[in-house]
């Protein structure tokens, strides 16, 4: 019975190797995923302390009522004993078993993908429609998997080449390892800078692959249907950065699937990386961040110490009078956060507007297939955390619409068949956010 229900570690590894994931899961043998329900303040504070200080645990999600995390074999017994003493309930699953199941669910996705989402089969299209349909089908196939860094850049440059009048491809700078932090500017006339800018970025954390796809899908749909979105784009430039952390993103594909930080390496230290989402200069290192280099929330040596962070800051500061929306896309949890995240009882003077726009975006997302988002400050829903982009954009630069979006899912690896659905529902939310830019 037991053998029929739980796959052994060996079988899981064999299955993962067949799907090409063994390399980026090396070192996670014996790890366990925990879903913990903690209703009281003592248990919550214990979890916050673990996230900040314990390097043997990796939090995927931490709210005031529950947590999702992975625990190394050496800490498993101690962790479970502490949970028992706190009287909290939890569920557990071997990490390798989970990843094998996720990959098995994804393996068939691409076979019927184009047929399901293509408007017409090529043989049924009018002769004049065939090149456009073929291009559209090939582009949509891009959203049936998770691309690597070079493929992302090729897709972006391809859009710019296909729509040169409306799309500009550029680099904000280079990462720690020298990769381009690439951006796309989309407007009705790329030669004239419109008055307002909607800035959207993704993949601040390397392991959050789905975020990149949603932002690229936004670019693809806008450029493919410019007539339909003329009013949205009127006097608005949309600036997209799908890979803020390209080094971390690549590292999750090649070496460590759950890598969060960038790849800043420090001489004489075995630990590396800075959490870019703790490196922005609003109440830097104040709460929910660490000066332990090995911590998942290590905030760096100083505000904007990282080339990835400073590239974003340079762009936003240079365009601070034009940027009216700053949106940082993360995964996962189904949340829309607005400032402030550094302290629980601190809200901005325009909280009414921020909340109203967030609720409207959440409503638009839910119309696609019923996905329900929770809106509020991250400090009130999750925990206090300083150094995020939304706090910096609003508090330091005065960008009136500043948000963090946490996409849906139960883990970081979204099945391939669901990528398009997450992209489509998120697209509706993006459009609602962008629509409000014209009010400023």
What residues are labeled active site? Answer: 406
What's the CA gap between 87 and 84, in Å, rounded?
Answer: 5
Cβ–Cβ under 8 Å, residues 140 and 117: yes
What's the CA gap between 163 and 222, in Å, rounded?
Answer: 11
User: Which 8-state DSSP code applies to residue 205?
Assistant: S
What's the CA gap between 265 and 248, in Å, rounded?
Answer: 12
Cβ–Cβ under 8 Å, residues 11 and 22: no
Q: Look-up: residue for tokens 């408007």?
A: 119
Q: Single out the residue of 225, 218, 155, 223 nearest to residue 433, CA to CA.
A: 218
> From residue 198, how far is each of 233, 277, 429 by CA, in Å?
10, 19, 13
> From residue 81, how far is each of 7, 241, 349 by CA, in Å?
25, 44, 44
Cβ–Cβ under 8 Å, residues 254 and 261: no
């Amino acid at each position: 019975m037991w053998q029929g229900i739980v796959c052994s570690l060996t079988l899981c590894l064999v299955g993962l190797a067949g799907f090409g994931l063994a390399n980026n899961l090396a070192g996670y043998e014996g790890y366990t995923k925990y879903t913990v329900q903690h209703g009281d303040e003592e248990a919550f504070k214990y979890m916050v302390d673990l996230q900040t200080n314990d390097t043997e645990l990796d939090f995927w999600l931490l709210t005031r009522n529950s947590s999702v995390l992975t625990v190394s074999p050496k800490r498993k017994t101690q962790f479970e004993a502490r949970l028992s003493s706190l009287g909290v309930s939890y569920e557990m699953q071997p990490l390798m078993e989970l990843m094998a199941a996720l990959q098995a669910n994804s393996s068939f996705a691409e076979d019927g993908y184009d047929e399901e989402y293509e408007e017409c089969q090529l043989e049924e299209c009018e002769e004049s429609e065939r090149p456009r349909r073929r291009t559209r089908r090939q582009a949509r196939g891009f959203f049936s998997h998770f691309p690597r860094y070079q493929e992302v850049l090729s897709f972006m440059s391809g859009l710019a080449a296909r729509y040169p009048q409306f799309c500009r491809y550029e680099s904000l700078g280079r990462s720690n390892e020298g990769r381009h932090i690439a951006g796309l500017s989309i407007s009705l006339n790329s030669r004239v800078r419109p008055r307002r800018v909607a800035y959207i970025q993704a993949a601040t954390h390397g392991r959050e692959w789905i975020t990149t796809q949603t932002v690229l899908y936004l670019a693809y749909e806008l450029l493919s249907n410019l007539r339909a979105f003329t009013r949205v784009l009127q006097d608005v430039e949309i600036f997209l950065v799908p890979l803020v952390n390209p080094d971390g993103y690549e590292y999750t594909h090649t070496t460590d699937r759950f890598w969060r930080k960038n790849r800043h390496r420090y001489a004489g230290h075995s630990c590396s990386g800075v959490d870019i989402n703790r490196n922005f200069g609003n109440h830097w290192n104040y709460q929910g961040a660490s000066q332990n280099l090995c911590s998942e929330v290590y905030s760096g040596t100083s505000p904007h110490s990282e080339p990835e962070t400073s590239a974003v800051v340079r762009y936003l500061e240079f365009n601070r009078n034009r940027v009216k929306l700053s949106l940082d896309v993360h995964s996962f949890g189904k949340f829309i956060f607005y400032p402030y995240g550094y302290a629980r009882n601190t809200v901005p003077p325009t909280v009414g507007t921020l909340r109203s726009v967030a609720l409207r975006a959440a409503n638009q997302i839910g119309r696609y297939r019923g996905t329900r988002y929770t809106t509020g400050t991250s400090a009130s829903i999750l925990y206090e955390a300083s150094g995020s982009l939304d706090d910096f954009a609003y508090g330091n630069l005065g960008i009136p619409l500043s948000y963090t979006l946490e996409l849906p899912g139960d883990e970081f690896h979204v099945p391939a068949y669901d990528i398009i659905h997450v992209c489509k529902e998120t697209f509706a939310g993006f459009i609602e956010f962008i629509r409000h830019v014209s009010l400023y």
